[in-house]
Structure 1
Amino acid sequence: MTSATPGSASPGKRNPAAWGGWLATNYPGVLIAAVGGICSEAISQHYGAPPMLIALLIGLAIHFTYDLEKIRPGINWSARNVLRYGVALLGLKIALADIISIGLSPLLLVIGAMAVTMVTGALGARALGLSREFGALSGGSVSVCGASAAAAVSSVLPQDKESERSLAVVIAVVTLMATIAMIFYPLLVTALNLTPQDMGVILGGTIHDVAQVVAAGNAISPEVGTLATFVKLVRVAMLLPIVMGVFFWLGRGQQQHASGQKVSYIPGFLVAFFVFAALNSAAVVPKELTLWGTTASHYFLVIAITAIGVKTDLKSVLEVGWRPFVLIVIETLVMLAVVLGGVLLMH
């Protein structure tokens, strides 16, 4: 049996001496990611800016620290493991009763719009000369929950400089589109003189990030805000099948055994996501623990995206050109067209 290299295993699986070695190897990078994440959250709360975008920008600004050998292990660990902890705890946001309460027709409409958006991402990426991975990453981000979904999808894609650059681009552009949607979509649904339920379906079914959905819905009324949030939870609940679909579609679900046979496996953090969602839906998780878990999920994701920013060279991000931007705009408009069109047709 070969011994693990420093920082390659989770600290929870090590004896005290090995855990101390892991800490000595990783703590400088983890500390930088954590401090950057805390700063981004403070800036977000003070100015109202999207925390994921601020985290990415802070990470990009301190990319020079990644040139230090003692920093890299902790940054790499944060970008990979802390990200997966955050995605797993997202399951605590899911409550089956809330999802069922919106009704079958809106539920099917939103799921259908997500499927169309994912297909648009795949076909659009091919038409624009972008990679399949970028199509899956952008499609998953737009159809599910913005930056958090982008991070989740990225975690099951091949980990290289290209994937890190793609993730940085998707987070930046999707956050921009979510902010634009948060401002203009409430004006659109109000001008159409729709019912509060229809407004909630459209806002929750089309705006990218959860925070922007809450803000856009409550800008109209508390009732619309609540309905929009419930619809948004449908999309968050679909994170598991979408990430698993990407996982198997792009061939990452196959592991070569010594016997030469390939077997499928499911990442542990996706299993944890499902377990947390099931427990929360069964109402066996205390509300205080659910609140703690969802808060921890948010901070884990902010820290992980800070680390991803640190790993990413801003120059390489700026070199991607206009095609990724166009693809994400198209996906956003397709999502809006399907949900809005479906709501209007139902009347």
Structure 2
Amino acid sequence: MTAEPDTADGGKKADNRFGGLISTAARLYPGVAVSTVFGIAAFAISVRYGAPGMLIALLVGLAGHFLYDFDRIRPGVDWTARTILRLGVALLGLRIAFADLIAIGIAPIMVVLLAMVITIVGGIIISRSLGLSREFGALSSGSVAVCGVSAAIAISTVLPKKPESERDLAVVVAGVTTLSTIAMIIYPLANLVLHLSDHEMGIVLGGSIHDVAQVVGAGYSISHDAGDTATIVKLMRVSALLLVVIGIYSWIGRQDATASGTAGGGRVQYLPTFLIGFFVLAAINSMHWAPPAVVKAGVTTSQWLLLISIAAIGIKTNLRKIAEVGWKPVIALVAQTLIMLVVVVLGVFMLRWMAG
């Protein structure tokens, strides 16, 4: 006789949970749908004109900022810019295969790692000297040092959420994409002066250009050997993403979380769940535990999720606020880019001197 109320109560709880999910989905759907449509449009434009997809997604989203004023659309856009973003970053782990790094050798890896550290530290100092926030310094220098837009997206998820957070991310995404595209054209031509071998030039390209697509384009425009080397070096930088994000989270993100958690009695998260997912997926891919088709599907899904979330960030961002930041962020990004390039080039020449 006593089991019937329990069963009925359990059924009511299940119905309430199901009803809550339906209600949440209905509330988020308009904004998610708009962000998805904008992401698809950005992909179509990028394929048609050969433009960087993330930059196009940001620009298309910025053009649709007026939609963010609608109460029905705003919750879904916010959710896409946050949750979908983190899921896309976690799936980036499937791009990492640690075994590929062995073929490059320890010396070039140490050169590039040193360049990354110098770029991050120097970039933060430069940003602070220009009067920019430490969050922007960490976001921009980490993006330049690791892997461009993907790193900027990952780092932004662990930084404290402030009114200017989306604006800063939009500025960095636009800046590193533009600089990376310029580098793809100019850096190979610089070898007319540097006179590096194809292998050495591959190290320079993979160690200094921000985004993977531009690294591949620049490397294979020189030779197959330069392209292969550049791609592997670039993947090494991508594999360091987890360490960089954890470092920035420990330095800035967790400190703010600790303060707010202490004040409000909340629980402080020492390692975000999406970073754990990133590491687990990278380990699975490195151990070849996942079929190639699954890895390919995961990487493709990651690209789509990031594209859609960047479109959502564009929708959230007021273009007028981006214009208000002035030239200081541009100067910081250019300076960080030059630091990365100079350190890698000097390191390559040092390796040549030591070998010969």
Q: Does 1:329 align with 2:334?
A: yes
Higher Cα Rg: structure 1 or 2?
2
Q: Pick from 212, 215, 218: which aligns with 2:217?
A: 215
Correspondence for 1:268: 273
Tell whether the 8 Å contact from 1:204 to 1:229 is kept in structure 2 after alignment: yes
Aligned to 1:344: 349
Q: Does 1:278 align with 2:278?
A: no
Give how far 1:16 is off.
Answer: 2.8
Alignment-derived partner of residue 235 in structure 1: 237
Pairwise mapping of residues 196-215 of structure 1 onto structure 2 (< 5 A)? Answer: 196-215=198-217
Query: Shift in Å at residue 15 of structure 1?
Result: 3.7
SS of aligned partner of 2:326: coil
TM-score, scaled relative to structure 1: 0.93
Q: Which residue matches 1:143?
A: 145
1:51-86 Cα deviation digits (max 9, x unpaired): 110000001000000000000110000000111011
Query: 1: CA distance between counterparts of 2:232 and 2:253?
Result: 33
Question: Residue 171 of structure 1 aligns with which residue?
Answer: 173
1:302 aligns with 2:304: no
SS at match of 1:69: coil
The answer to whether structure 1 residue 130 and structure 2 residue 132 are counterparts is yes
> Mapping of 1:236-251 within 5 angstroms?
236-251=238-253
Identity %: 53
**2-side partners of 1:35 and 1:212: how far apart?**
26
Structure 1, unaligned runs of 5 or more: 1-13
Query: TM-score, length-normalised on structure 2?
Result: 0.91
Give the match's secondary structure for 1:157.
coil
Matched letter for residue 192 of structure 1: L
Q: Is the 8 A contact 2:160 2:252 kept in 1?
A: no
Tell me the CA shift for residue 20 of structure 1.
1.1
Aligned to 1:71: 73
Q: Provide the C-alpha distance between the structure 2 equivalents of 1:208 and 1:79, rounded to a whole number of angstroms.
A: 22
The one-letter code of the counterpart of 1:37 is: G
Post-superposition CA distance 1:10-40 (Å, at most 9, x none): xxxx943222111100010000110101111
Deviation at 1:192, TM superposition (A): 2.4
Corresponding position of 2:29: 27
Contact 1:161 1:312 in 2 (8 A): no
Partner-residue secondary structure (3-state), 2:164:
helix
Q: Give the structure 1 partner of residue 5 of structure 2.
A: none
Alpha-carbon distance in structure 1 between the residues aligned to 2:24 and 2:265: 33
Aligned amino acid, residue 306 of structure 1 = A
Distance, in Å, in 2 between the alignment partners of 1:251 and 1:219 is 40
Looking at structure 1, the residues matched to 308 and 193 of structure 2 have their Cα atoms a distance apart, in angstroms, of 39
Structure 1 Cα separation of the partners of residues 176 and 268 of structure 2: 35
Shift in CA distance, 259/174, structure 1 to aligned 2, threshold 3 Å: closer
Partner of 1:99: 101
Cα deviation, 1:288-321, whole Å, max 9, x if unaligned, reads 1111111111111110100000000000000101
**Deviation of 1:260 (Å):** 6.7
Alpha-carbon shift at residue 224 of structure 1 (Å): 1.3
Maintained 8 Å contact 2:93/2:279: yes
How far, CA to CA, are the matches of 1:280 and 1:58 in structure 2? 33
Letter in 1 for 2:174: A
Task: Name the structure 1 match of 2:316.
Answer: 311
Deviation at 1:161, TM superposition (A): 2.5
1-structure distance, mates of 2:205, 2:264: 51
Structure 1 segments, 4+ long, off by >6 Å, are: 258-262
Pick closer, same or farther for the CA change 1:300–1:262 going to 2, 3 Å.
closer
Matched residue, 2:121: 119
Residue type at the aligned position of 1:334: I
Q: 2:296 aligns with which of 291, 301, 314?
A: 291
Bigger drift between 214-223 and 68-77 goes to 214-223
Superposition pairs of residues 79-94 of structure 1, within 5 angstroms: 79-94=81-96
Decide whether the 8 Å contact of 2:254 with 2:268 is kept in 1. no
Contact 2:89–2:306 (Cα < 8 Å) also in 1: yes
Greater shift in the superposed pair: 184-193 or 234-243: 184-193
Number of aligned residue pairs: give it: 334
Larger mean Cα displacement after TM superposition, 16-25 or 74-83: 16-25
RMSD, aligned α-carbons? 1.6
Give the Cα–Cα distance (whole angstroms) in 2 for the partners of residues 162 and 261 of structure 1. Answer: 24
Alpha-carbon distance change, 323 to 308 in structure 1, aligned in 2, over 3 angstroms: same
- Superposed CA deviations along residues 120-146 of structure 1, whole A, max 9, x for unmatched, are 121011110000000000011101111
* Alpha-carbon separation, structure 2, partners of 1:34 and 1:173: 23
